[in-house]
Structure 1
Amino acid sequence: MKTKLISFLVVALSFFTASALMAAEPYTGKTIKLRIASPSPNGSNMVRGYEKFVELVKEKSNDKIQIKLFPNAVLGSDRTTLESVQRGTLDMASCSSPNMASFAREYMVFDLPYITSPEYQQNLYNALDKGELGKYFETVANRIGLTTIMWSEYGYRNYVSTNKPLNNLNDLKGLKVRTTDSPIEVAVAKSLGMVPAPVSWGETFTALQQGTVDAEGNNWEHLVTAKHIEVLKYAMDSQHNYSMHILMMNKKAFDALPPEAQAILREAAAEALTWQRKISENLDETSKKAMLDAKIKFHDLSDAERAELKTKTKVVWDEFKKELDPKALELLLSTQK
């Protein structure tokens, strides 16, 4: 027990050391070249955040730390690129919180339907950035050979369809919906009478276009920037799941960097994250307008319908609660008050 406690404290200390510094020391060593992979499309809030990160690192290191960003899944899906990071053949990769369940089951806690609410968003940010929740998941990341660089804002997922009007909850039944690899996301779809079909993000547009799937759950902004609105016709503001994109780096590779370089990466990531979250605040509204302009028909849930949706998906909590670490569940729920 004592050994575990010491291990946890070491991780927590290393995780927060950089953020405690007033400013990173100048880096004067050899030029460092790094690569980041992201499945998200150009113009999305995630990619814009990573572009800001690259820019800040360049500025703070006087161009001695050079990062090349590969967006739009050009190096592969979340899972493929993060596996490359684990192997050490890629420096950093961004993976959605649902897809992180493939690497560590603890991340599934974020997928529970309606476990978070927009009104407590800042509480969640604080807990991830400088609280026990962030420390907990840094320990998890270290266990699988990674270190967390950024908890990028993604947003709330909503159901959309290519061919079936979504005028009420019953209309969800029978839809073949694209999901991530998350067991909980699959279970949520089943609880609503949908037919889940895990499809990698880079293949989703084609799957919708060809009719392999006829629905998906995603945030409005991603649907617009990925041009999915070209094939979508109907939308429902289900807000059934909150997601983040987590930028990870190989832990051994990070630890091998000079301390000054590590501090610059941490400092730039913190500043880029603050900026990225700020620009994300109004994206739902502007993206929804773009979808309306594309003639997509919306059904906004009434309070009664949203309550019914929460009731229908409560079975997922019952199904997975025993599989989740009680500590992770406790820490996340503590942010929602």
Structure 2
Amino acid sequence: MKRIFVLTMALALLGLCTLGHASPAQAAYDGPKLKFRVAHTTPPGNHITLAFEKFKELVEQKSDGKIKVQIFPNAILGSDRVLMEGAQKGSLEMAVSSTPNMANFSPLYQVFDLPYITSPDKQQQFYAAIDKGPLADYFHKVANDIGLEPIMYAEYGYRNFVSIKRPIRGVADLAGLKMRTTDSTVEVEVAKILKMNPTPVAWGETYTALQQGTVDGEGNTFPHMYGAKHHEVLKYAATTYHNYCMQVMMANKKWWDKQPASVQKVIREAAAEALQYQRDVLYPKNEREAREGFLKAGITIVDLTDEQLDEFRKATRPVWDKFKNVLPDDLVQMVLDTQK
């Protein structure tokens, strides 16, 4: 009996010690109840869609269910531009847009569209700069100046050229193709310099445009195209990796500034954790699955060699000169510094 008593007391003391040293992350949420909406254009199953679902899960978990997140995926509420205009005006609390489509709101986002300004083998340096480094600070001000608050730079990936017309093994194979682009003027100039015919088409209309021959191809990531079922109509692809893109989740700034610190903390933490999960787990898995899906659909994928990629780099470099008056030298250098 004495042993049992001593053991019981020891366990009780251990429990008190554990409670006394609980980490701040485990502290109960003491903020208000809240409900907000996030709208994006990404299709079901895509790593971007799954990242926002993870964000929702984490926000609700960290707030003990007091903060509810309503997700509107797959362009249900409109295109990137329409959604971000909603966030700007305050008719939506949060919206998501690709960085090329953010050019509708500030031309400075086009710096990421410059062909080959970043490369897949330097991603960790880039992440550090856009998450908490100089690029994060720079674009925080850019967003605030247009009435938005950046919450999460979700991974989108590197774009590749694809076609319904012919295999792509070099620059010459793109000539004459009607290429779907976003509203980014950089993207349009890239198409022009590669002797394609740029055709801006909203993302939600691209499948039909390919199907009907309104466009002959597009430049996008394999997961994004696969999730939107573009593999059903595409025939050829090449790993051009010609530019990197992000899906930026923005909040209406006035709405964000009204939220107490407890709410902002939960949202920031959830966004950071969801982003890391996306980069480490969701994106690599989705990239593999999309590539396999392309091959199973009979799409010919040409994996370009370093020499072939050099041809694309040299051919598209003059595009940079066309935007010297739009993109400040210090911003371009800031991105280039991430590639060292």
TM over 0.5: yes
Contact 2:170–2:312 under 8 Å retained in 1 = no
State the alpha-carbon separation in 2 of the partners of residues 126 and 167 from structure 1: 34
Match of 2:235 among 211, 233, 238: 233
Q: Is the 8 A contact 1:73 1:202 kept in 2?
A: yes
- Show the counterpart of 2:207: 205
Counterpart Cα distance in 2 of 1:29 and 1:128: 29
Check whether the contact 2:177–2:197 (CA below 8 A) recurs between aligned residues. yes
The two structures, once aligned, show a CA RMSD in angstroms of 1.5
Letter matched to residue 128 of structure 2 = N
Query: Runs (4+) of structure 1 moved beyond 6 Å?
Result: none
Between structure 1 and structure 2, the one with the greater Rg is 2
In structure 2, do the counterparts of structure 1 residues 244 and 22 end up closer, same or farther at CA, with 3 Å as the change threshold? Answer: farther
Is 1:314 the counterpart of 2:317 in the alignment?
A: yes
**What's the CA shift for 1:26?**
4.1
**Match for residue 290 of structure 1 among 290, 293, 298:** 293
Distance in 2 separating the partners of 1:142 and 1:82 = 13
Q: Is the 8 A contact 1:97 1:243 kept in 2?
A: yes
Provide the residue aligned with 1:217 in structure 2.
219
* Aligned with 2:193 (options 191, 206, 216): 191
How many residue pairs align between the two structures? 317
**Partner residue in 2 for 1:69:** 71
Which runs of 5 or more structure 2 residues have no equivalent in the other structure?
1-22
Residue-by-residue CA offset, 1:84-126 (whole Å, 9 max, x unaligned): 0000000111100111111111111110000001111011111
Tell me which amino acid in the other structure corresponds to 1:324.
L
CA distance in 2 between partners of 1:63 and 1:276 (Å): 23
Per the alignment, do residues 304 and 29 of structure 1 end up closer, same or farther by CA in structure 2, a change over 3 Å counting? Answer: closer
SS of residue paired to 1:116 = coil
- Residue of structure 2 equivalent to 1:266: 268
**Counterpart of 1:327?**
330
What is the TM-score when the length of structure 2 is the normalising length?
A: 0.90
Partner residue in 2 for 1:10: none
Shift of 1:165: 2.8
SS in 2 for 1:321: coil
Deviates more, 1:302-311 or 1:35-44: 302-311
Is residue 46–residue 286 contact of structure 2 (8 Å, CA) maintained in 1?
Answer: no
* CA displacement at 1:330 relative to structure 2: 1.8
SS state of the match for residue 156, structure 2?
strand
Q: How far apart in 2 are the matches of 1:174 and 1:33? A: 49
**1:36-84 CA-partner distances (Å, limit 9, x unpaired):** 1111101111111000000000001111110110110000000000000
1:144 equivalent in structure 2: 146
SS in 1 for 2:168: coil
Change in CA separation of 1:24 and 1:254 when aligned onto 2, cut-off 3 Å = farther
- Equivalent residues of 1:32, 1:64 under 8 A apart: yes
d(CA) in 1 for partners of 2:198 and 2:170? 19
Q: Which SS does the other structure have where 1:333 is aligned?
A: helix
Query: Are the counterparts in 1 of residues 240 and 304 from structure 2 also a CA contact under 8 Å?
Result: yes
Q: Following superposition of structure 1 onto structure 2, how do residues 1-337 of structure 1 map, counting pairs within 5 Å?
A: 23=25, 26-279=28-281, 280-337=283-340
Question: Percent identity between the aligned chains?
Answer: 51
CA offsets 1:196-233 (integer angstroms, 9 cap, x no match): 01111111111111111110001111111111100101
Which residue type is aligned with residue 120 of structure 1? K
Structure 2: how far apart are the matches of 1:277 and 1:24?
25
Q: What TM-score do you get using the length of structure 1 for normalisation?
A: 0.91
Contact 2:119–2:339 at 8 Å: present in 1 too? yes
Q: Distance in 2 between matches of 1:91 and 1:318?
A: 37
1:3 alignment partner in structure 2: none
Is the Cα–Cα contact under 8 Å of residues 162 and 237 in structure 2 kept in the other structure? yes
Structure 1, residues 279-309: CA drift from partner, whole Å, max 9, x if none?
2134333321211111001222222221111
Give the counterpart letter for 1:98 in structure 2.
P
Q: Tell me by how many angstroms 1:236 deviates.
A: 1.1
Structure 1 residue 31: deviation in Å?
2.2
